[in-house]
Structure 1
């Protein structure tokens, strides 16, 4: 196909360079509206539009579809910067970028349907998200029952409920993970238009953070899906293939990058706070030496004191470690290193933990000011804490890492429950 998306005049590397050049301005625009959308829990239409107009929402569309074909390393870079501006917009962008990247790798969507999505993407923002219980993500049971698909002639009807669907009120398409009601159930992805009959948005989103992400519930009441839009159906107990593992790796690093952006935003605010705050002076006072109560003494900003410098350095070190981990693994995956694919789950946990710890440390360092709603630091803390449910279940990641370590050592992977043999008297 020759469909063009990210730029009307260029594709490939040139379109990628043009979009990245616009990134700083987009980040500033997102940051200017983030507090408003968080306070009112309103959907960030202007922010999503800005990301779209910059060509960033279609950055991972493949070159064979006329797109920039951004790599995973590019995607991590972009999402970390968008997360610094507004984590909710970055999260919405991440899910759409992941879909386009997956299509470039697998061509799973029928050609005509994907061409329609690209056409919509030229006209305006076309958000996509995967919803429903996804076996590849190993979601906990608390995420709800799976959406059920039953035959209706040659087509399908979807019934059920999917919780926490970021961007629910503005999705162009939903990729619904559902299980069939056949005698031998299968699982797969069902493509559903956002305005499909029987699909309703239940506005229940009232979370601690990421409030503008509009992660409402989607209710499915016999939503019709043509047979050709039921993709990759497989037995319910079948193991996902290598393509699923690569997709999970992209998701791990992309969502961790959004969180890294939150950590950077908290760091930036803290740097400004320490540069202007002096012992005993009100927040917002002019930076620089200030006359002290004792005649002849000068009070310097907190950032000049070794204690605060060391505390900021600890925070910065944690963020540098998280960034190097994500960027390094992304580059290895782009280079075809299969060993790196299996390490993204632990990397996600390490990076997101580092971000949460860093933002909490910033709050502790600034005291009551860090928790004041007059300043963005408390929002960054809420966003950092609220990013966790979008990733893989931590226990599943840790169990897999433990089993892999046992396998490398040649140890048994499952505990033995054999009873000890009792000697006869």
Structure 2
């Protein structure tokens, strides 16, 4: 390590509810204005949440996936836009803790800066023509070698937190005849980098997942991760996949819990004249709220258990993470949809947050791994298991 790094304080779990409440107070306004939640990100930083997974060797607390799941569920209930940019940053630090793939000098700078101020990190991979790279294909974004540096040119879409990112891991290919691919480290605000405000989404409006345009953006020669021929990277990153699947599942379960919280308040307050008592006193509503609570509690326990397994080195945590995401996101979406059905027109009134929770929770389906991929993998595994059983 080239220089002493400042110590990064661990997150204070007692402050989590306070941060979540502060985010919730501004979430509706940020959603209406589609404005990036800088105040919320600052609050997360001050509570040590953005740096919870920085490794101890870099001065950080070295938090694991189970702690990340707890953080993201609370932040998701407060403001999922803050939770999502926090998740991407925590995942990047956790990946460095596992495999040390960043150039040492660059990551030391990131760690030192993160001790002082909020520094958001995200991987920019999706492109207009390519779509999500998990489906295969090479990026159109090109890195050209120019003496002691690279020049990156290309177009990335769905770049969460684009305007506020301190570091962007831009997936690109070299212009060699035998192209190599890797993630090039681009600093936010670099010359030749432009944010196009294209984000006009149904949900997670405050995430500002805008387009990033790169025009001969300079990157130091060594600031690249995993540069290799396509398919030479050693296979799928199962650990990273588990962090992504379980962390984002927790975030959307937080959204559903926020919806449930609003629902129970509404049912206690709503007293129809003909009934003469709050809706909360009716068995029909009590049973429906119970169904929501059971579904969410089961999904939360599954996600938490697999996160703890992953932290303990149990391969079950990674192997079952995709299936857990499918179950958790279905539970979260179903819970919010059921809340909307119970409330009726009031649920879709813009003045009430339930319509925002519905729009936000629907975004859970688009994150990798998507349902069709999870089910295809699970089906093939089950069929292969039957074949092996018959052969014994």
Class of the TM-score when normalised by the shorter of the 2 chains: over 0.9
Deviation per CA, 1:314-357, whole angstroms, max 9, x where unpaired? 11111111101110110111110113212111211111111111
Q: Choose from 394, 409, 415 the match for 2:371.
A: 394
Which secondary structure does the structure 1 equivalent of 2:369 belong to?
Answer: coil
Q: Is 1:55–2:48 an aligned residue pair?
A: yes
8 A contact 1:117–1:126 mirrored in 2: yes
Which secondary structure does the structure 1 equivalent of 2:387 belong to?
Answer: coil
Question: Which ranges in structure 2 are unaligned for 5 or more consecutive residues?
Answer: none
Q: Is 1:218–2:219 an aligned residue pair?
A: no
Aligned to 1:150: 144
Aligned to 2:201: 207
Q: Choose from 179, 188, 192 the match for 1:185.
A: 179
Aligned to 1:139: 134
* Structure of greater Rg: 1
Give, in angstroms, the shift of residue 387 of structure 1.
3.2
Give, in angstroms, the shift of residue 168 of structure 1.
0.2
RMSD: 2.0
Aligned to 1:340: 317
Give, in angstroms, the shift of residue 367 of structure 1.
0.3
For residues 388 and 3 of structure 1, what CA distance do their matches in structure 2 show?
Answer: 39
8 A contact 1:150–1:157 mirrored in 2: yes
Task: Mark the CA change 1:146 to 1:312 in structure 2 (over 3 Å): closer, same or farther.
Answer: farther
Deviation per CA, 1:136-168, whole angstroms, max 9, x where unpaired? x75358x99542222223532211111010110
TM score, norm. by length of structure 2: 0.93
Which secondary structure does the structure 2 equivalent of 1:367 belong to?
Answer: helix
Aligned to 1:423: none
Task: Mark the CA change 1:340 to 1:122 in structure 2 (over 3 Å): closer, same or farther.
Answer: closer
Q: Choose from 345, 349, 355 the match for 1:372.
A: 349
8 A contact 1:138–1:396 mirrored in 2: no
TM score, norm. by length of structure 1: 0.86
For residues 334 and 320 of structure 1, what CA distance do their matches in structure 2 show?
Answer: 21
Give, in angstroms, the shift of residue 220 of structure 1.
1.1
Question: Which ranges in structure 1 are unaligned for 5 or more consecutive residues?
Answer: 8-14, 281-291, 293-297, 412-425
Q: Choose from 5, 14, 39 the match for 1:21.
A: 14
Aligned to 1:363: 340
For residues 223 and 109 of structure 1, what CA distance do their matches in structure 2 show?
Answer: 19
Task: Mark the CA change 1:202 to 1:144 in structure 2 (over 3 Å): closer, same or farther.
Answer: farther
For residues 309 and 140 of structure 2, what CA distance do their matches in structure 1 show?
Answer: 34
